[in-house]
Structure 1
Amino acid sequence: MNKPIFELKNVTVLGNKNSSNVTKILNNLSLTINDGDFITVIGTNGAGKSTLLNVISGALAIDDGIILHNGRDITNLSEEEHTKFLSRVFQDPQLGTAPRMTVAENMLLALKRGERRFLVPRKLKQNRERFLKLAKMMHNGLEDRMDTFTGNLSGGQRQALSFLMAILKKPDILLLDEHTAALDPHTSQSLLNATREIISQDKITALMITHHLEDALNYGNRLLVLKQGKIIADLDHNAKIKLTTDDLYRYFE
């Protein structure tokens, strides 16, 4: 049985705290993420999906509850400290990469994530073959643009680079915040397939928000349905394979 790697216990996040109309964006939510899980997350706008990822990443403080990483209480840990064990890919291809650095330089930068920085040789040549091998796994020509400034890449190639940068050091948890939503259908599908291949190969624990119910069913071993700040369904692989998109639609009625 896989061990818990990250836990949220009775977590509440409040909205409109300085008004008379206080709301619960996350409402006494509990979630256990096990080592090796690939969890897809769905829910309507305002259900709390992005807030959930913001809490896990340390970008948003909680108002009540406890957060554990490998059994250690990290409720008050800073977002910067979270980067030592966690990485995230956002929806916007322009986030997460340095436009005036080359593809290879961006990947080298990601290799230093969470570490103290010193004035030492870059070691770009020593890591180039590794970067090239990873870029080939994206199946979109990124391997031919290793010396191209990132700002000159297509949106799909830039998002593929963001993904590679996020998994370079094999984080304990990878957060995918609708990371294909800004791409055209063909490019989106290509990145999703590469995502599944690398997550499976490297046994990366991941959470992926998606608005596409088909993707929620086709990817990952667990499916969470959020509604009004609560998890109303937590479906394992055996439950997922019996469902259709029509079944999922019923959760939103």
Structure 2
Amino acid sequence: MTKTNQPLLALNDIVTKVNAGTPNEVMILKHLNLNIYDGDFITVLGSNGAGKSTLFNTISGELPVTDGQIKLRGRDITHLSVEKRTAFLARVFQDPKMGTAPRMTVAENLLLANQRGKRRTLRLRRLKQHMAQFKELTASMDSNGLSDRLNTATENLSGGQRQALSFLMATEQRPDLLLLDEHTAALDPKTSEQLMVQTNQRVTQEKLTCLMITHHLDDALKYGNRLIVLDQGQIKYDVRDEEKAQLTKEQLLSFFDTIE
């Protein structure tokens, strides 16, 4: 289906450099253009050094834009701070230790995530009143046992449980844009597959707009309505909907051969 509405997020002619102004200056994103629409679930592929993490760091504000413009629903957010972007953007990293407070319990972490983008004031946290909600929420992650560990410190969880918690925290307030930065890469194959199934279920049911970096071609083909390939800081391939559904692993590998 061709989308003609305004993009949720538009990256226009984006240039991102690291070590700018030094002898080690390197241009990573090279006049990149990308329109992301409401409900897009985009899998992101690319070889090492192609610019995938830089793309995510640019969208999240971790890296400043050297040139170009980023717009959210038509509003210029190019120079918006990382903190202000958390009002509409959430991210899950590859490392399960990132994104959670280790000495806080599962329930306390979820309560913290519940306040994402909201004005912070001094008030009672009312944790007990949220326990039934958190029990139901964690149970949605199927059989990883997270719902039975609401009072467990996050540092005592398994890697899979901790990453499931990070994912729930990122999606609890239904962000406008969700960035999944190889969020299953540090897990064993079985746990990784379980989290991917749960990820797809939540993203599609909640109609979240999501970009997911992955090195697994099978996951890139199986999940999402759209697939993009980065190479040398530019998007060299962008396929969606029925065209993506008909794409084979062999065709994708053949395309990689042409850009290497």
Q: Shorter-normalised TM-score: what interval?
A: over 0.9
Query: Does the alignment pair 1:223 with 2:227?
Result: yes
Q: Which residue of 1 aligns with 2:254?
A: 250
Q: Which residue of 2 aligns with 1:144?
A: 148
Per-residue deviation, 1:30: 0.6
- 2:141–2:198 CA contact under 8 A, matched in 1: yes
- Counterpart CA distance in 1 for 2:48 and 2:156 is 33
Deviation string, structure 1 residues 209-250 (Cα, Å, up to 9, x no partner): 000000000000000000000000110021112222121112
Query: For residues 56-205 of structure 1, what are the structure 2 equivalents within 5 Å?
Result: 56-139=59-142, 140-205=144-209
- 2:18–2:26 CA contact under 8 A, matched in 1: yes
- Counterpart CA distance in 2 for 1:20 and 1:90 is 30
- 2:17–2:25 CA contact under 8 A, matched in 1: yes
Q: Which amino acid aligns with 1:177?
A: D
- Counterpart CA distance in 2 for 1:202 and 1:238 is 21
- Counterpart CA distance in 2 for 1:82 and 1:189 is 30
Q: Which amino acid aligns with 1:92?
A: D
Per-residue deviation, 1:18: 3.5
Per-residue deviation, 1:58: 1.0
Deviation string, structure 1 residues 35-82 (Cα, Å, up to 9, x no partner): 010000000000000000011111110110000001100111000010
- Counterpart CA distance in 2 for 1:196 and 1:128 is 25
Q: How many residues align?
A: 253
Query: Does the alignment pair 1:13 with 2:2?
Result: no
TM-score by length of 2: 0.94
Deviation string, structure 1 residues 140-185 (Cα, Å, up to 9, x no partner): 1110111111000000000000000000100000000000000000
RMSD: 1.2
Q: Which amino acid aligns with 1:151?
A: E
Per-residue deviation, 1:125: 1.9
- Counterpart CA distance in 2 for 1:92 and 1:20 is 31
Moved more, 3-12 or 160-169: 3-12
- Counterpart CA distance in 1 for 2:61 and 2:204 is 25
Per-residue deviation, 1:16: 4.4
Moved more, 238-247 or 103-112: 238-247
Q: What runs of 5+ residues in structure 2 fail to find an aligned partner?
A: none
- Among 41, 45, 48, the residue aligned to 1:45: 48
- Counterpart CA distance in 2 for 1:224 and 1:201 is 22
Q: What runs of 5+ residues in structure 1 fail to find an aligned partner?
A: none
Q: Which residue of 2 aligns with 1:24?
A: 27
- Counterpart CA distance in 1 for 2:186 and 2:137 is 22
